[in-house]
Structure 1
Amino acid sequence: MWPTLNRLREPMTLAGVFTLAAVSLGLRFLPPEVLPAAAAALVAYALGFLLFALAPDTWERQRRIALVAMAGLALLLAWLTPRVGTAQVLLVVWVACAVNVLSPRGVIGAALVLNVAFYTLMVHHGFGAPLTMTLINIGFQALAGLCVHYARRSEESRDQLALVNADLLATRALLADSARDAERLRVARELHDVAGHKLTAMKLNLRALASDPVFAVRDEVRIAQQLSTELLDDIRNVVQALRDSRGLDLQTAIRALAAPLPRPTLDLRIAEDIRITDPAVAESLLRIVQECLTNAARHANAETLMVSLSREDADMRLCIEDDGKLRGGLREGNGLSGIRERVAALGGDLRLGNSPTGGLRLDVRLPA
């Protein structure tokens, strides 16, 4: 229900509704014998427009049928009301709708056919200057079509920019984690190689000093030996803690990828015992999830994408599935081929299938 209300609030939909409401006011100038048929045709056109505007993108066939019906109803009103000008406005609305589902060539071809039919009707009714009226209509239709076309291009560019920005943020998160791990490893090596080596040498010298009868009875020597031993143990513990990295923060990177997408919602579950320290493995997992997010949004119309990463025996298991429904069945295109190549490069195994709802399911196993 909420997606439908959101579509109703879109500027283009609101403009169409207000235009149809304004057009209905012109029906009061019609003769009584024509008014019922014209009113019924306009109501049917309005219903077709609402179906077209509010239906989900997966209803492609229904939206095309509504578009054909709207074209026929506009020409019917041109036949019934040649003097009022209702059909001209409805054809402008029709072109604005057609831009959303037809190719530019398809829109131009269909608009030319409709305008030729409109011109023929004007000639039949003896309307003065039918060619001039038709050319004026074509100008308004072109303006409406171009406005909608560039508005859609702008939205697509904005969405693409948001995805690229999310990709950069996710990659930056992985690089930052990788840089921190590298710095921890460098500090651990420095402590072990420099401070540990010198403390070991000092401890040996203190032991040799304590073996001398002159200094053996001195408390200062004994305390120095004890402190050097404790300090060496402390440095070893610090070095071990620095080497025990928790791995790259894959969860934050994946959530950054999904953040700009209005749907699907990401249901992410990463087991606590999963630790990924190799940036190449983390980046491959990130790209696999990214491709699944894109497929779920574009091809399956999914509301939720479930991602789980767990450990099974000596392997890592990545399970991804959405609650959408693939149109035309499962076909392995460039995106899925890229996933298969990434998995093969890591020495893993990929299995594809359908989720319980008919969406896509991936089961990836990688060496831990």
Structure 2
Amino acid sequence: MQTLLSPLNFAGYLAWGAIGFEMLFAGQPDDRGAAMPLPAIAALHLLFLGLFMAVTSSQRVTRAAQAMVLAQIGLAFALMAMARYTSVPILLILCVVQLVRVFDARTSVVLILVMNALVYLLYRELWQLRSPVISTLMHMSFQGFAALTAWFAFRAEQARDALAATNADLLATRSLLAESVRDSERLRLSRELHDVAGHKLTALKINLAALARDARVAGDERVALCARLADELLADIRGVVQQMRQDEGLDLAAAITTLARPFPRPRLELEIAADARVATVAQAEAVLRAVQEGLTNAVKHSQAQTVWVVLRRDGDALRLDIRDDGRGSGAVQAGNGLCGMRERLEAIGGGLDVQRTETGGVHLQAWLPATA
């Protein structure tokens, strides 16, 4: 929906509407031959709009999108040849805007040249214009301007998305490093409490016990109170140390959420069990990159709306489950991203399994040891 309401699409709708206005209210161009019946003209014009919206509503470049753009070119020529309204060639400008998005630069240039060669023949043979070359060159200049504008706009969008993904990657890595620093500091403090404070409190207890046996202070309630407070304080410190050691590990929720933030689609559904905490930065990096690859694949290949990520503990292992609701087909081909993910997991004693779901989505199942 957001793409359909973009400024570029609005400009296309206005141009399409202006052409339709001429068809409805300017009368039949009888001076240049018999025109098609108005209902047939309206049907072709509406079909053009439907194909235009179908192509521009998707961010993916597919063979279906290429076929729909070529079909729009055919509809534009059909209207030019049979209805012959002066504004109809503007439809070719809308086609050119889509051409540079769904085809590579060389193919787009060839198609634009062939298209305008046909426009010249149509102007000369059917429309019988006095200056078909000038009219064709004028339309080519408009098409060239539109093509360059659209091409730079698409490149800017790609650069923006790449920059957003890189920025999210850096923020996720920073979050991971910050969590690693906090975990290291927590472990250091637990050791300091155990080794320093615990040692000195134990020494204090020994001295208080010796003092309590001294005949001069035997039965003194203040000595007994100090001994009891020392026992309680030592027990509290041991409890804190035990709790800090139980919390040892890296929490990945913040890093994964940051990584998914620049993707407007698919939506991330994240579930991390309370005991599913990795022990080392290498393990955290492997999990983070696996989630990143799952999101990237869902964006590029699956047309998914939602990605589910579940991290849980299974005995001495951590299980990472990544699944999307895409509509792909055929076996999943392992590209550089999946191969790199598998190598990273295997390097720390884990593994990866990739399958396609019954609905056509991709299901990644990864596992790695819970300890270092």
Answer yes or no: same fold by TM over 0.5.
yes
What per-residue deviation string (whole Å, max 9, x for no partner) do you get for residues 30-62 of structure 1? 118623258735641441342232256469344
Q: Which amino acid aligns with 2:94?
A: V
Aligned residue in 1 for 2:336: 334
Quick one: distance in 1 between partners of 2:252 and 2:239?
27
Q: Could you say if the C-alpha distance between residues 217 and 168 of structure 1 is closer, same or farther in structure 2, counting changes exceeding 3 Å?
A: same
What per-residue deviation string (whole Å, max 9, x for no partner) do you get for residues 276-309 of structure 1? 2322212211110110011011101112212222
**Aligned residues of 2:276 and 2:312 also touching (Cα < 8 A):** yes
What per-residue deviation string (whole Å, max 9, x for no partner) do you get for residues 64-109 of structure 1? 3332232233334444466x53343222222112122111111111
1:122 aligns with 2:123: yes
**Aligned residues of 2:35 and 2:83 also touching (Cα < 8 A):** no
How do residues 58-77 of structure 1 correspond to structure 2 at under 5 angstroms?
Answer: 60-77=62-79
Aligned residue in 2 for 1:258: 260
**Aligned residues of 2:20 and 2:45 also touching (Cα < 8 A):** no
**Aligned residues of 1:41 and 1:76 also touching (Cα < 8 A):** no
Give 1:317 shift. Answer: 1.5
Q: Could you say if the C-alpha distance between residues 65 and 274 of structure 1 is closer, same or farther in structure 2, counting changes exceeding 3 Å?
A: closer
Aligned residue in 1 for 2:96: 95
Please state whether the residue corresponding to 2:302 is helix, strand or coil: coil
Give 1:126 shift. Answer: 4.1
Quick one: distance in 1 between partners of 2:61 and 2:183?
49
**Aligned residues of 2:187 and 2:248 also touching (Cα < 8 A):** no
Aligned residue in 2 for 1:54: 54
Please state whether the residue corresponding to 2:19 is helix, strand or coil: helix
Give 1:246 shift. Answer: 5.7
Please state whether the residue corresponding to 2:286 is helix, strand or coil: helix
1:139 aligns with 2:138: no
Quick one: distance in 2 between partners of 1:311 and 1:272?
9
**Aligned residues of 1:264 and 1:296 also touching (Cα < 8 A):** yes
Quick one: distance in 2 between partners of 1:182 and 1:244?
13
Please state whether the residue corresponding to 2:334 is helix, strand or coil: coil
1:293 aligns with 2:314: no
Give 1:165 shift. Answer: 2.7
Please state whether the residue corresponding to 2:278 is helix, strand or coil: coil
Quick one: distance in 1 between partners of 2:266 and 2:256?
13
Quick one: distance in 2 between partners of 1:41 and 1:115?
22
Give 1:140 shift. Answer: 0.6
Please state whether the residue corresponding to 1:287 is helix, strand or coil: helix
Q: Could you say if the C-alpha distance between residues 133 and 313 of structure 1 is closer, same or farther in structure 2, counting changes exceeding 3 Å?
A: same
Structure 2, unaligned runs of 5 or more: none
How do residues 246-285 of structure 1 correspond to structure 2 at under 5 angstroms?
Answer: 247-285=249-287
1:17 aligns with 2:13: yes
Q: Which amino acid aligns with 1:40?
A: A
Q: Which amino acid aligns with 1:320?
A: I
Please state whether the residue corresponding to 2:230 is helix, strand or coil: helix
Moved more, 338-347 or 53-62: 53-62
**Aligned residues of 2:123 and 2:129 also touching (Cα < 8 A):** yes
**Aligned residues of 1:300 and 1:327 also touching (Cα < 8 A):** no
Aligned residue in 2 for 1:172: 174
Aligned residue in 1 for 2:113: 112
Aligned residue in 1 for 2:236: 234
Aligned residue in 1 for 2:192: 190
**Aligned residues of 1:20 and 1:46 also touching (Cα < 8 A):** no
Q: Could you say if the C-alpha distance between residues 43 and 144 of structure 1 is closer, same or farther in structure 2, counting changes exceeding 3 Å?
A: farther
Please state whether the residue corresponding to 1:86 is helix, strand or coil: coil
What per-residue deviation string (whole Å, max 9, x for no partner) do you get for residues 243-277 of structure 1? 22163221222222222222222222222332323
Q: Which amino acid aligns with 1:47?
A: L
**Aligned residues of 2:61 and 2:102 also touching (Cα < 8 A):** no
Please state whether the residue corresponding to 1:214 is helix, strand or coil: coil
When normalised by structure 2's length, the TM-score is 0.87
Q: Which amino acid aligns with 1:169?
A: L
When normalised by structure 1's length, the TM-score is 0.88
Quick one: distance in 2 between partners of 1:159 and 1:287?
18
Aligned residue in 2 for 1:31: 30
Give 1:155 shift. Answer: 1.8
The alignment of Structure 1 onto Structure 2 pairs a total of residues equal to 363
Give 1:144 shift. Answer: 0.6
**Aligned residues of 2:323 and 2:362 also touching (Cα < 8 A):** yes
Please state whether the residue corresponding to 2:279 is helix, strand or coil: coil
Please state whether the residue corresponding to 1:215 is helix, strand or coil: coil
